[in-house]
Structure 1
Amino acid sequence: MSPEPPLSAEQARRLPDYPFQGRWFNHGAAHQHYLDEGEGKPVLMVHGNPTWSYMWRRLVLGLRGRYRCIAPDHLGMGLSDRARDLPGSLLAESRAQDLGRLVEHLVAERRAPARGWTLVVHDWGGPVALWWAHLRPGVVDRLVVLNTAAFPWPPGYRPPRSLLALRQPSVGRIAHASNAVVHMALSRGVCRPLPPAVRAAYAAPYRRKRDRSTLVRFVQDIPLSPADAGWPHAQRLGEALVYFTQVPVFLGWGMRDPLYDDLVLAEWTRRLPGAALHLYPYAGHYVLEDMAWQLVEDIRDFLAVTDHCPS
């Protein structure tokens, strides 16, 4: 673990639009940071790579008056301790186990309900959180999907060249040293440049080289073909999505995403045909940055309408 946190809670609270009281849960020697804001039905927000709970700030601010908003930082990311993952292990499965332990703690010790959770996922948060959820039928009764994938890539999909390059060990080492994963994501993942203070906030937990190892590892874990170790996991997860055809689903999609393209969106609509589809033509991968005001309003409306649906 890092000898000191990459960013203190007090430093984090001075970041733009992040006035939250951080909390910690101990996984043995590893401390996981999470937000727990508001009261009401729990809304669990799970981020991807290379972001952290900061990406949910506007959604938390928009929902905490009516819902209990819980947004963890994965171990190895954000304000959480840096994890020592075993070589060859799949980060998605490891982080799903972490998520399960955190939710169990919230239920057992912080008066969270055992059922009736809303799950909000983005990027790697999709494979992580949906893996956790499908192993616990009945816990999640609503799903919000934002620019992610939870199945093998559809036929015809072509990954960006930058992603392919990062999977090469030599390029990965350079990216780790230069913090290239963060810089590329923040520049290519939005349609409008982020304000400098917001860019700095996203990058703040990854300023030190020793705090970035998970970022490249997540990229290298992306399964692109059956030869990759994560391909069977993606297949099983795709098959498990049938469970979510029985719950209300909000599918919010930034249409200018260089990673999750129209083919990925079409696969989501094929697998979850009853989803409420919301398209944002002028948003990229980080749809919550490009279209925050509209997306927060749309999610709030979706939750209000489905609050009275039977669980």
Structure 2
Amino acid sequence: MPPALLPGYPGPRHWHRVPATGQHYVDTGTGSPVLFLHGNPSWSYVWRHFFPVLSPHVRCLAPDLPGLGLSPRPPVPGSPLDRYTGQLDALDDLFAHLTTDRGLPGSGWTLVMHDWGGPLGVAWALRRPGVVTRLVVLNTIAFPWPPGYRLPFYLRWIRDHAPVAALVHLTGAFPHAVARLGVVRPIASAERRALLLPYARLRDRRAVVAYVRSIPRDAHDPAWTLLHAAGGQNGLADLEGLPVFLGWGLHDPVFTPLVLDAWRKRFPGARVHRYDAGHYVMEDAAGPLVHDLRAFLLETEGR
């Protein structure tokens, strides 16, 4: 992809691929490893504001989840549970490559998680006990929806109605809608085009709708079993005691303040920062969010 079409994104010398899977990731900076996990329908481009501020202090590693961003488009598994486990296996491949081939440590990692990055990141941390020592949670979830929560109607339509899902896939409506409605302040046109660029072609956005259709609806959904993986029989409780940063866009129609409250109950000692922002909190509140996150990382380094 031509770098000129990606304003603010690190240049190609920071682009790498995992030998086992071809998964694309950005690697920039020095220091302890910080793994940025994006959601759907975004990709590592959403972290561009973080890299120049944080890279003097930490090693910023931002993969594109398989099927999204600049990563390959493997066949999308038919089962939602297979989709989740496939993403976790890809994180394992990335971790093995980074620790074996690129000399990163096997512990002391920080997870920065948004949207789908939350359940995937937490499940991976439980799969790899002792690796992750800090959590940064941005408008996401890693437990069944709290009482009183209701998924927005448009996500229910896509999730539960195949004709609607097919139309959304055909038109590419979901990435375009999120790029405009997921913020309270419009993203600059050149940056919005860059955010949407990996999904311009029909064949490149198969995973986008597939993962909307994988959203868990209730506490009985098999997806939540991933949070009780081997080494994590107590789910999030096994991560108690880690420093936690909660950064929340208060105008997110999906991950509402009700979800934030549920995180606070699980991690009462977390540092909580609320922003006048939408779902893409890293776009709306880039300046204050990155400033607050840098302070958190510096103050908790080595704990």
Q: Same fold (TM over 0.5)?
A: yes
TM-score if structure 1 supplies the norm length? 0.91
Q: Which residue of 2 aligns with 1:165?
A: 157
Contact in 2 for aligned 1:47/1:122 (Cα 8 Å): yes
1:303 to 293, 297, 300: 297
In structure 2, give the amino acid aligned to 1:277.
V
Distance in 2 separating the partners of 1:229 and 1:292: 34
Are residues 1:95 and 2:90 paired? no
In structure 2, give the amino acid aligned to 1:284.
G
Instruction: Label 1:120 to 1:194 Cα distance change in 2 as closer, same or farther (>3 A).
Output: same
In structure 2, give the amino acid aligned to 1:259.
V
2:254 to 252, 255, 259: 259
Where in structure 2 are the equivalents of 1:56-75 lying within 5 Å? 56-75=47-66
2:108 to 112, 116, 122: 116
2:193 to 197, 200, 204: 200
Using the TM superposition, give the Cα deviation of residue 104 of structure 1 relative to its aligned residue in structure 2, in angstroms: 1.1
Distance in 2 separating the partners of 1:140 and 1:164: 33
Q: Deviations over 1:155-194 (max 9, x none)?
A: 1101111111111110000000111110111122100111
Distance in 2 separating the partners of 1:150 and 1:160: 18
Using the TM superposition, give the Cα deviation of residue 239 of structure 1 relative to its aligned residue in structure 2, in angstroms: 4.2
Structure 1 residues without counterparts, runs of 5 or longer: 1-7
Structure 2 residues without counterparts, runs of 5 or longer: none
Distance in 2 separating the partners of 1:115 and 1:227: 32
1:182 to 152, 175, 179: 175
2:245 to 235, 250, 264: 250
Kindly report the root-mean-square deviation, in angstroms, between the aligned alpha carbons of the 2 structures.
1.7
Distance in 2 separating the partners of 1:155 and 1:233: 21
Using the TM superposition, give the Cα deviation of residue 289 of structure 1 relative to its aligned residue in structure 2, in angstroms: 0.4
Contact in 1 for aligned 2:122/2:227 (Cα 8 Å): no
Q: Which residue of 1 aligns with 2:144?
A: 152
Q: Alignment length, in residue pairs?
A: 297
Using the TM superposition, give the Cα deviation of residue 92 of structure 1 relative to its aligned residue in structure 2, in angstroms: 2.4
Distance in 1 separating the partners of 2:6 and 2:233: 37
Contact in 1 for aligned 2:169/2:205 (Cα 8 Å): yes
In structure 2, give the amino acid aligned to 1:34.
Y
Q: Which residue of 2 aligns with 1:31?
A: 22
Instruction: Label 1:285 to 1:243 Cα distance change in 2 as closer, same or farther (>3 A).
Output: same
Using the TM superposition, give the Cα deviation of residue 85 of structure 1 relative to its aligned residue in structure 2, in angstroms: 3.0
Distance in 2 separating the partners of 1:135 and 1:234: 9
Q: Deviations over 1:219-250 (max 9, x none)?
A: 10001125644354467789411122211000
TM-score if structure 2 supplies the norm length? 0.94
Secondary structure of the 1:31 match is coil
